[in-house]
């Protein structure tokens, strides 16, 4: 199975403090109907940091149930504790997920050797495809290209979601790891330039609200239609900006609320958008045609 294209980092909708399972099912169906190539539950956008273990497992299980193998399910299973990451990854495998997405350990600030041993231990403990997730802005550590290349030697570590914001780093990973190793953008605004240097898709926030256009942009590039891909990149660009005007996933959940697809509810320590930013978001969505 390949993990390429536009893969949505799907929100976890809440209602009255609990997971809104009906809304999550509807969102997944809408994503698949609009050309999304994979569903990624329990990532940053899915507020994994404030889900209980029971909620985390239920979101993965429900996603697998709704998707019914129509597209890949890549479950977020990372942790800053290696044993916890192994346990969550084992559950994802037993639930029927197609792959696991493993964020680098956060807060601990391990060395490159520590990062290598962490991911290698998970790979050896759980027999399923695993995708590394590098986002130093949230974890305080950068998974260096040389470490990625070492980890790429593990048979079931098949790719990376790269969110360091450096095209140089992406180029070094592609060059070091070769075509067997999948590189996915972890930054919506850099997806097109990352594909130009060898990435084959994106795990995207923006697809939560504009799934068809995100899929079309990635598909256009894959088909060699660079002009169409560029047009879609610039059409989407205002969304790339406004959906990060506050900490993700606050704006994207508010956007979905404005579209009537879920509530804007987030869990503390996240909180509702400032009114000024909400006004900016609403204007951008009206300009895009997402709301009247």
Catalytic residue among 57, 109, 116, 161: 161
Active site residue 161: yes
Ramachandran angles phi, psi of 199, nearest 5°: -70, 155
Active site residue 286: no
Catalytic residue among 107, 133, 228, 237: 133
CA distances from 148 to 153, 173, 182 (A): 9, 7, 11
Catalytic amino acids?
Answer: 133, 161
């Amino acid at each position: 199975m390949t993990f390429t294209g536009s893969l949505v980092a799907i929100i976890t909708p809440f209602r009255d403090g609990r997971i809104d399972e009906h809304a999550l099912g509807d969102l997944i169906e809408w994503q698949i109907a609009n050309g999304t190539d994979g569903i990624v539950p329990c990532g940053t956008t899915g507020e994994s940091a404030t889900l209980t273990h029971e909620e985390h497992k239920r979101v993965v299980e429900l996603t697998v149930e709704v998707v019914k193998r129509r597209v890949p399910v890549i479950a977020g299973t990372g942790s800053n504790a290696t044993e916890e990451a192994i346990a969550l990854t084992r559950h994802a495998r037993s639930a029927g997920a197609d792959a696991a997405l493993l964020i680098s350990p956060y807060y601990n600030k391990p060395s490159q050797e520590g990062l290598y041993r962490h991911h290698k231990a998970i790979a050896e403990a759980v027999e399923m495809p695993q995708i590394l997730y590098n986002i130093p802005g949230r974890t305080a550590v950068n998974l260096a290209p040389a470490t990625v290349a070492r980890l790429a030697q593990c048979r079931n570590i098949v790719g990376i979601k790269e969110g360091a914001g450096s095209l140089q780093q992406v180029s070094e990973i592609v060059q070091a790891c070769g075509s067997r190793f999948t590189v996915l953008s972890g930054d919506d605004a850099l997806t097109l330039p990352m594909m130009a240097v060898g990435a084959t898709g994106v795990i995207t926030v923006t697809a939560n609200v504009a799934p068809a256009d995100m899929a079309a942009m990635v598909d256009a590039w894959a088909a060699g239609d660079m002009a169409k891909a560029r047009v879609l990149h610039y059409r989407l660009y205002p969304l790339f900006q406004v959906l990060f005007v506050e900490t993700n996933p606050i704006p994207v959940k508010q956007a979905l609320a404005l579209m009537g697809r879920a509530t804007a509810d987030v869990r503390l320590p996240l909180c509702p958008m400032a009114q000024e930013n909400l006004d900016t978001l609403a204007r951008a969505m009206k300009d895009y045609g997402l709301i009247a």
